[in-house]
Amino acid sequence: AQTVTQSQPEMSVQEAETVTLSCTYDTSESDYYLFWYKQPPSRQMILVIRQEAYKQQNATENRFSVNFQKAAKSFSLKISDSQLGDAAMYFCAYIGNSNYQLIWGAGTKLIIKP
């Protein structure tokens, strides 16, 4: 069975600094996708970034980028120039081609210090 692990329950960063959130996963599948979702206090789950396993190039979306290490099964999220609006729970999620369901990590609470 596939699993996703986020080992940092909480992280804090000074506004305008850079922070990296960690995620590891376990799977025997060769074709899969990885996601980072953000859930602010409103509880709306918002897609941050997506990575296809077959792509070696790391995905980027403006201030958000990932470090995808397929052999190590690691998928970290880097947030540059942190802003107060980035404060939220961040969830790492996995989906394979076989069963149509997202498998979630426990989440990391990101605190931005002004």
Q: Contact residues for other proteins (CB under 8 A)?
A: 31-33, 35, 37, 42-47, 50, 91, 95-104, 106-107
Closer by beta carbon to other proteins, 11 or else 33: 33
Distance CA 101, CA 27 (A): 14
Residue with tokens 């961040």: 90
Closer by beta carbon to other proteins, 43 or else 71: 43
Distance CA 50, CA 83 (A): 21
Distance in Å, CB of 19 to other proteins, minimum: 22
Distance in Å, CB of 3 to other proteins, minimum: 12
Distance in Å, CB of 14 to other proteins, minimum: 28
Cα 6 to Cα 36, 55, 87, 105, distances in angstroms: 11, 22, 17, 6
Question: For residue 32, what are its two tokens?
Answer: 């899969």
Closer by beta carbon to other proteins, 28 or else 114: 28
